[in-house]
Amino acid sequence: MARSQYQPKLPSSLWGAVKAVQGEPTQSVADQEEIKALFPNTYGLPELTFEKDPKQSKLAGAQFNVGVILSGGQAPGGHNVISGLFDGIKAINKANRLYGFLMGPGGLVDHNYVELTSEIIDEYRNTGGFDIIGSGRTKLEKPEQFEKGLVILKELNIKAVVIIGGDDSNTNACVLAEYYKAKNVGIQVIGCPKTIDGDLKNEMIETSFGFDTATKVYSEVIGNIQRDCNSAKKYWHFIKLMGRSASHIALECALQTQPNYCIISEEVEAKNMTLDAIVADIAGVVAKRAAKGDNFGTVLIPEGLIEFIPAMKALIAELNDLLAAHPEFAGLDAAAQREFVLNNLSEANAASFKSLPAGVARQLTLDRDPHGNVQVSLIETEKLLSEMVGNKLKEMKEAGEYVGKFSPLHHFFGYEGRCAAPSNFDADYCYALGYNAAQLVNCGATGYMSSVRNLTKPSVQWIAGGIPITMMMNMERRNGEMKPVIQKALVDLDGKPFNKFASKREEWALNTCYLYPGPIQYFGPAEVCDQTSRTLYYEQGGK
């Protein structure tokens, strides 16, 4: 109850009347000619920054209605984006209305919606989850879908749609913005950066919302496991962490908890490491700790690891193209599917496929998500690794290189953190993103992402504005075709967060340096309650 009364803090530039200041025209991060040709109406737009408008005493504007969609995986703070958007449009004009499309982008296409009134909004302020309107992974990409959406948008007199989603959903938001602008139907589309994975970020989008809370929740539980581990001193815990491709979540949790080992997929790829090399490295740490009498420890594993092991990456890429070209594959039974794959893959990839335990190999051929991604959260890498480490240790024991006891336990943390009540950081950030999106609608912007920056400073000093989505795009291969997509931000191996980790990991491996962050605190001193993620802290110059 007390938490629902929390009033998120807004950047001071959004207090009262605002004006949009235009920056220079922008360019996409890569493949400029192709992106420009695909987005003739939304390419090259200027960045926008909101400042206080000294000419107006009060925020005011014409009446308009807005639609909102939650897209993709849940992330803490989504309800605050919606409440910020609601308060933002009401501050512009009390008669403005907000409609929520139900269960993701499919709600727009199928005309399932609800009007979000203050009674509904008030129940969800500062809560986790996306249950206010639900979420879904329908991919908005076809003109028929855009046309169906247009019918309901016109019927409800909606001026703008705000799509709260990750890189793929914001890419689709931009495609929709371009379509409506080309048709001149007067409907704007604005995106908001959501994902616990932390991979939707760049110079202008410092972090996606939800990353802060989710990593704090995972770190709390990892800390609890480490305390248990250090008390009983008898288990090795293999902990897989969500995060899809990028290892931002694993890295952030390592910085918060100081485990004995943490794999960073991007490093595995850069060093061209094989699965056997990773296993040998972990087994080496287990053996060194055992030599000191410490038969316990923690290993953090990013969920997307398998895709970054070069041999596996090549295999997955060929499988993606193969499965996209053969829809009949889905109708075969498991044995026939394995046979089909082995017969149709190149020799090298067929050999990699064969070398995997059958269960893991099968998981690589299971249905892709609607964006063509392998569903990495289904692959049990924590079990695969601990089994292989166990085998390696047996060999080492026989060779007299290891004396000890290895009892592994397995965990997967993902869903535990995606709907947690937002930390103060996410509560404020999300509310500001939503409130700011209302200002983007009011100033007529389309094809922009809501951007709030300067995030390690107190929230009053945050910088609010809009970034053209085309600016973040490049061309990538998806479902067998080259497509314009927002460039994913992977862990930067030259970046400060990774370097901090790399400078400490040997010490953390051999000695027991665990940190136990405990639960998120909502009330109390700012240094306890308002801390940003370690990643953001180091990225923005923290020592």
Query: Catalytic residue numbers?
Result: 197
Pairing of strands 463-468, 448-453: antiparallel
Q: Which is nearer to ligand FBP, 201 or 244 (CB)?
A: 244
Query: Between the CA atoms of 226, 232, 237 and 242, what dihedral angle is there, to the nearest 10 degrees?
Result: -40
Q: How far is the CB of 331 from ligand FBP (least distance, A)?
A: 23
Q: Pick from 98, 255, 376, 473 the residue near ligand FBP by CB under 6 A.
A: 376
Q: Which two tokens stand for residue 262?
A: 């943490």
Alpha carbon 23 to chain centroid distance? 28
Cβ distance 99 to 65 under 8 Å?
yes
Q: In what order do the strands lie in the sheet with 297-302?
A: 261-262, 297-302, 236-241, 408-413
**126 and 154 Cβ atoms separated by less than 8 Å:** no
Residue 164 engages ligand FBP in binding (rule: CB under 6 A): no
> Is 72 a residue that touches ligand FBP (CB under 6 A)?
yes
Query: How many residues belong to the site for ligand FBP (CB under 6 A)?
Result: 14
371 binds ligand FBP per the rule CB under 6 A: no
Applying CB under 6 A, which part among 21-29, 191-199, 257-265, 329-337 lies near ligand FBP?
191-199
Q: Is 193 in the site for ligand FBP (CB under 6 A)?
A: no
> Is 373 strand, coil or helix?
coil
Tell me the C-alpha distance between 220 and 223, whole Å: 5
Asked if 195 interacts with ligand FBP (CB under 6 A), we say: yes
Closest CA to 156 of 65, 95, 61, 87: 65
Alpha helices in 326-451 (DSSP H): 334-344, 347-355, 358-365, 381-398, 415-418, 424-442
Nearer to ligand FBP, 209 or 402 (CB): 209
Region 238-257 residues binding ligand FBP, contact defined as CB under 6 A:
242-244
Q: Is 377 in the site for ligand FBP (CB under 6 A)?
A: yes
Query: Cβ distance 440 to 448 under 8 Å?
Result: yes
In the chain, how many H helices and how many E strands? 21, 15
d(CA 309, CA 320) in angstroms, rounded, equals 16
Rounded Cα gap, residues 394 and 372, in angstroms? 39
Distance CA 399, CA 402 (A): 8
Shortest Å distance, C-beta 41 to ligand FBP: 27
Paired residues of 52 in beta bridges: 18
Nearer to ligand FBP, 96 or 207 (CB): 207
* Interacting residues of 114 by C-beta distance below 8 A, sequence separation 6+: 99, 100, 102, 120, 133
Q: At 543, list the tokens.
A: 């020592």
Question: Which of residues 47 and 303 has its CB atom nearest to ligand FBP in the complex?
Answer: 303
Smallest gap from Cβ 195 to ligand FBP, in A, equals 3
Stretch that binds ligand FBP, among 12-20, 71-79, 398-406, 458-466 (CB under 6 A): 71-79
Least gap, CB of 377 to ligand FBP (angstroms): 4
Minimum CB–partner distance for residue 58 and ligand FBP (Å) = 37
50: β partners: 20
Q: Which amino acid is at 484?
A: P
Q: Which of residues 399-458 bind ligand FBP (CB under 6 A)?
A: 418
User: Of 69 and 376, which has the nearer Cβ to ligand FBP?
Assistant: 376
Residue 473 contacts ligand FBP per CB under 6 A: no
Q: Among residue numbers 288 through 317, which ones bind ligand FBP (CB under 6 A)?
A: 303
Q: How far is the CB of 415 from ligand FBP (least distance, A)?
A: 7
273 binds ligand FBP (CB under 6 A): no
CA 146 vs. chain centroid, Å, equals: 25
The residue length of the chain stands at 543
Question: Binding to ligand FBP (CB under 6 A): which residues in 74-103?
Answer: 75
Q: Which helix (H) or strand (E) holds 450?
A: strand 448-453
Residue 158 is inside which H or E element, if any? strand 158-165
Q: Answer yes or no whether residue 540 interacts with ligand FBP by CB under 6 A.
A: no
Residue 252 CB, nearest distance to ligand FBP (Å)?
13
Considering only CA atoms, give the Rg of the chain.
Answer: 24
- Closest to ligand FBP by CB, 242 or 396: 242
- Residue closer to ligand FBP by CB (options 74, 446) is 74
Cα(518)–Cα(513) distance, integer angstroms: 16
Query: Residue 367 or residue 395: which is nearer to ligand FBP going by CB?
Result: 367
Question: Is position 73 an interface residue for ligand FBP (rule: CB under 6 A)?
Answer: yes
Binding ligand FBP (rule: CB under 6 A), the pick from 87, 197, 220, 428 is 197
> Which one among 196, 275, 319, 471 touches ligand FBP, defined by CB under 6 A?
196
From 16-24, 236-244, 346-354, 469-477, span contacting ligand FBP (CB under 6 A)? 236-244
> Which residues are paired to 66 by β-bridges?
98, 160
Beta strand spans in 41-122 (E): 46-52, 65-70, 97-101, 113-115
Minimum gap (Å) between residue 205 Cβ and ligand FBP: 14
CB of 245 to ligand FBP, least distance (A): 9
By beta-carbon proximity to ligand FBP, the closer residue of 376 and 393 is: 376
Binding stretches for ligand FBP (CB under 6 A): 72-73, 75, 166, 195-197, 242-244, 303, 376-377, 418
